Amino acid sequence: MKKFRSITLIVSILMLASMFLAACGPAATPVPEEAAPEGESLAVGIVLPTKDEPRWIQDETRFKEALTAAGYDVEILFSQGSSAKEKENVEALITKGVKVLIICPQDGAAAAAAAEVAREAGVKVISYDRLIRDTEAVDYYVTFDSVAVGAAQAQYLVDKASGTGNPLYLYAGASSDNNAFLFFEGAWNVLQPKIADGTFVIKNSSEAVALQDKATLTRDEQAKIIGQVTTNWDFNTAKGLAEANLTVATAADKGDVFILAPNDGTARAIADAFAADTDVTSYVVTGQDAEIASVQYIIDGKQSMTVLKDVRTLVADAIAAAVAYLEGGTPEETNAYNNGVIDVPAKPSVVVTVDKDNVKAAVIDSGYWPAEEFTGLE
């Protein structure tokens, strides 16, 4: 078939493209003329969870940049928060003849059905960023080290705290997302000893307080805490929960507070709620994704840190894995993640802690975002 004609060329073009992207960043990515002949289709389909969060628009943009630079047309569909829509998207792509599916599930367990439909059709399934759970029909997992993300967030809070009795507010992602558990696990590993020694006092979760003497939590125990402090990855839910927590808390529970916020969107919502409370003297709040709005919040001193997960790397890894499958090979594996049924081979990428001190070097000088996006940069 024409589209499989020159896989070696595709690989070299993609490698060049990813090196080029890593060097230049998103704004200045012209399509190399010799590499963009006629927009041939690659037998790969991509399904992302929602357009309503900047994180996934970022992934779409980075995929388009990498694929356009390599001269390929690949369809990217969004599930808009619906597992039913996600399955329809997968079926549509199978009908169009994709051989590899790159899918970031809206709901990790619900996506098992879509993965199984793909497996039955002989399509390789690459779980992207979030793990598809409770099925054998996942071939590979392209991911960041999500336990390290949670650990980096918690370590930031620990490094900024001194003395004892510091008020700690915990927030988590959606319990339908396996990553929410990994982030929480990484954070708990670092925070729990500092709760046990009195550095922090949990203020907004009776479930976490009940489990605070346990260094390691089972998934069910994590689920109890996450169920109580979930933002559902939704800004309004995060804002409402933070406001409700602040309403119940006394002035003594406030003062200089420490907040574990799971990602940038929820961090901005939670930070705004804490900033508006006159009993809060100062706050340290975490995040992740290095979203443009949060990088600006960091520059402005409204969000303390974020965890940069370089989506360019994830995209390059996903494309390399897809090409490996199209060539009849298998992608590189350094780790495995259990999805409740099988150990899924993976190659997790490293993450970087970013705050006001290194924001320019880590986010702008690295080419991740162009300086023009921001005001007040020194």
Choose the stretch contacting ligand BGC; rule: CB under 6 A; options: 172-180, 234-242, 341-349, 358-366.
172-180
Q: How far is the CB of 302 from ligand BGC (least distance, A)?
A: 18
Distance (Å, whole) CA 370 – CA 203: 39
Q: Using the rule CB under 6 A, is 133 a contact of ligand BGC?
A: no
Q: Using the rule CB under 6 A, is 153 a contact of ligand BGC?
A: no
User: According to CB under 6 A, which one of 44, 55, 297, 310 is a site residue for ligand BGC?
Assistant: 55
Distance (Å, whole) CA 331 – CA 317: 9
Q: Using the rule CB under 6 A, is 53 a contact of ligand BGC?
A: yes
Name the residue nearer to ligand BGC (CB basis): 45 or 348: 348
Q: Using the rule CB under 6 A, is 317 a contact of ligand BGC?
A: no
Choose among 294, 308, 322: nearest CA to 366.
Answer: 308
Contacts to ligand BGC from residues 277-316, by CB under 6 A: 288-289
Name the residue nearer to ligand BGC (CB basis): 177 or 277: 177
User: According to CB under 6 A, which one of 18, 179, 303, 304 is a site residue for ligand BGC?
Assistant: 179
DSSP label at 100? E
Q: How far is the CB of 334 from ligand BGC (least distance, A)?
A: 19
Identity of the amino acid at 100: V
Angle of helix 178-196 versus helix 219-229 axis, rounded to 10:
90
Beta bridge partners of 302: none
Name the residue nearer to ligand BGC (CB basis): 10 or 187: 187
Name the residue nearer to ligand BGC (CB basis): 71 or 287: 287
Q: How far is the CB of 264 from ligand BGC (least distance, A)?
A: 7
Q: Using the rule CB under 6 A, is 263 a contact of ligand BGC?
A: yes
Choose among 132, 177, 127, 102: nearest CA to 341.
Answer: 132
Provide the strand spans (E) within 106-253.
124-128, 140-142, 166-170, 200-202
Provide the strand spans (E) within 190-304.
200-202, 255-260, 280-285
307's tokens: 């965890």
Identity of the amino acid at 221: E
Contacts to ligand BGC from residues 20-39, by CB under 6 A: none
Residue 377 CB neighbour total at 10 angstroms: 14
Contacts to ligand BGC from residues 112-131, by CB under 6 A: 129-130
Q: What DSSP string describes 326-360?
A: HTT-----SEEEE-SSSEEEE-PBP-EEEETTTHI
Site string for ligand BGC, 335-354 (x = CB under 6 A): --------------------
Q: How far is the CB of 64 from ligand BGC (least distance, A)?
A: 18
Q: What DSSP string describes 28-44?
A: T-PPPGGG-SS-EEEEE
Query: How many Cα atoms occupy the beta-carbon half-sphere of 224 within 13 Å?
Result: 12
Q: How far is the CB of 104 from ligand BGC (least distance, A)?
A: 8
CA distances from 74 to 15, 85, 223, 226 (A): 17, 19, 37, 36
Q: Using the rule CB under 6 A, is 233 a contact of ligand BGC?
A: yes
Q: Using the rule CB under 6 A, is 268 a contact of ligand BGC?
A: no
User: According to CB under 6 A, which one of 59, 65, 139, 177 is a site residue for ligand BGC?
Assistant: 177
User: Which residues form the interface with ligand BGC (CB under 6 A)?
Assistant: 53, 55, 129-130, 173, 177, 179, 233, 263, 288-289
